[in-house]
Structure 1
Amino acid sequence: MVLQPTEAKLPDKEAHAGTEMGAVHLKVSSLEQSVSYYTEVIGLSVLNRYAGLVRLTADGVYPLVILEQIPNALALPPGGHSGLYHFALLVPNRRDLGLMLKHLVDKRIGFGSADHDVSEALYLSDPDGIGIEIYRDRDRSDWRYLPDGQVFMKSDPLDAAGLLREAGGSEWRGLPVGTKVGHVHLHVGDLDRAEPFYSRLLGFRIMLRYGPSAIFAGAGGYHHHLGLNVWAGAGAPPTPEGAAGLKYFTIVNPDPGRIERLLEEFSARSIPVDARGDGWYFKDPFGIGIRLTTCGIL
């Protein structure tokens, strides 16, 4: 039986239902190496090059990944710091994911995979070890819910054969128009500090508590726009500024009034905010950079 979500009490100041993730800005050790990887392996294309940054897109309009080379970038072992666990690119349908899988198999590129019940996913790492998920969602009508209203997610083997059948004999031509940043998954040092910041302050509703080690939160009933885990260890220190990894991720909230009220709360809590022409920049309790904006176009 498929259980439906219960009428659980929502956060007092829940994020706008249309809130989504925007571009992720990555610090890399070699710009050209990363551009080659993200275009030839992942299937994005160059939108523009400006001021030392390369913006990558799937549709020629919206940037999804921004690359910035940092000199003498530190190479850190995975899993020892707060910061990015992976960012996730959501493709429009199952055939698109099947074509991505066919491409990876044809090119003999290593990857991981999982069936999460709400979605099917492929996992890769870029040349700097930055985690990438490429996934497709099942229809919301097929999502299952636990008796307490939490969304049901799992990590089972992927039906790779079925995905390849979806791809058929079609040729992979990169990530399709309609691809977007579906979610961002973060290592944090303490879930008891992360939850008030991301849920009660930013307004993302807790959709699933994955035991004592992870939380999944979303806006508008989505299974998750944010994953938060302590798999790097309790009290994991911030990723050093000079290391490859995430510079910031973007939250696109289309409600200017909600953003204005949020900025007032930041001021009341003495959270520093840098207002720029393309949004408001701040950091979470673990030093992770965030850009808040009303529009996904830079």
Structure 2
Amino acid sequence: MNTIISTKKTSVQAESVDPRVRIGHVHLRVSDLERSLAFYTSALGFELMGRLDGEAAFLSAGGYHHHIALNTWQCKGGARPAPGTTGLHHLAILYPDRSTMAAAYRRVVACGVNVSDAADHGGSESVYFDDPDGNGIELTWDRPKDQWPRTPDGALIIMSRPLDLDELAALR
């Protein structure tokens, strides 16, 4: 399935955000802090940077103050969100290249995590699964911009084709 995303501005479009803007971190509510810490440090390899009152933890890649925060505020022992409700669809962890993402995928599988989907989106490749509280996780890497599929008039093409996980796992 291919969907074309137009890059043309309309009369109601606001001024574009500064291109240097990045998403700094994600903060997730979890029902069991220790279980989630084990998942994010073991299966995903993040480093624990600190804790707050036994109710929150801050995790990082590469020593940043935190990329992921976990908390049990108002949700300790809580249930997963019901299907069909609003909320976070997933958080994406962007790897610098395909081989680094492949290593992360192998680690996740080795920890017994069930992958729910994998897709080649044209400009990126992604692997999807849930954390212990049902929060969606995406492992992803972006192809170089000059390799992104585009229409003849330059609009970006977003697609979802099957990703060969055996090939990904074999990549070193």
Q: Same fold (TM over 0.5)?
A: yes
Which blocks of at least 5 consecutive residues in structure 1 are unaligned?
A: 168-298
Match of 2:63 in 1: 60
Is 1:143 the counterpart of 2:148? The answer is yes
Counterpart in 1 of 2:45?
43
The aligned runs of 1:153-172 (5 Å cut-off) are 153-167=158-172
Matching residue's letter, 1:104: V
Q: CA deviation at 1:121?
A: 0.8
Hey, what does 1:93 align to over in structure 2? Answer: 97
Root mean square deviation, CA, Å? 2.2
* CA–CA separation in structure 1 for the residues paired with 2:50 and 2:66: 9
Could you tell me which residue of structure 2 aligns to residue 22 of structure 1?
A: 24
**Residue 104 of structure 1, aligned match among 96, 103, 108:** 108
Q: Distance in 1 between matches of 2:169 and 2:62?
A: 24
Report the equivalent of 2:128: 123
Distance 1:73 1:161, change over 3 A: closer
* Superposed displacement of residue 55, structure 1: 0.3
Deviation at 1:42, TM superposition (A): 1.5
- SS at structure 2 position matched to 1:48: strand
* Percent identity between the two aligned chains: 32
Q: Distance in 2 between matches of 1:32 and 1:158?
A: 33
Instruction: Kindly indicate whether the alpha-carbon contact (under 8 Å) linking 1:54 and 1:66 is maintained by their aligned counterparts in 2.
Output: yes
On the 8 A contact 1:25/1:66 being kept in 2, the answer is: yes
Following superposition, the deviation at residue 25 of structure 1 comes to 0.7
- Aligned equivalents of 1:102, 1:12: Cα separation in 2: 42
Q: 1:83 to 1:6 in 2, by over 3 A?
A: closer
SS state of the match for residue 56, structure 1?
A: strand
Pick closer, same or farther for the CA change 1:6–1:68 going to 2, 3 Å: closer
Matches within 5 A, 1:191-210: none
What is aligned with 2:9?
9
Q: Alignment length, in residue pairs?
A: 162
Shift of 1:148: 5.7
Aligned in 2, Cα 1:114/1:19: closer, same or farther, shift over 3 Å? same
Q: Is the 8 A contact 1:6 1:148 kept in 2?
A: no
Alignment CA distance shift 1:24-1:54 (3 Å): same
The change in CA–CA distance for 1:71 and 1:104 in structure 2 (over 3 A counts) is closer
How far apart are the structure 1 equivalents of 2:163 and 2:138? 14
Distance, in Å, in 1 between the alignment partners of 2:141 and 2:47 is 20
Q: Distance in 2 between matches of 1:71 and 1:166?
A: 39
Counterparts of 1:56 and 1:138 in 2: how far apart (Å)? Answer: 26
Q: Helix, strand or coil for the counterpart of 2:34?
A: helix
| Aligned AA (2:49) | L
What's the CA shift for 1:129?
Answer: 0.6
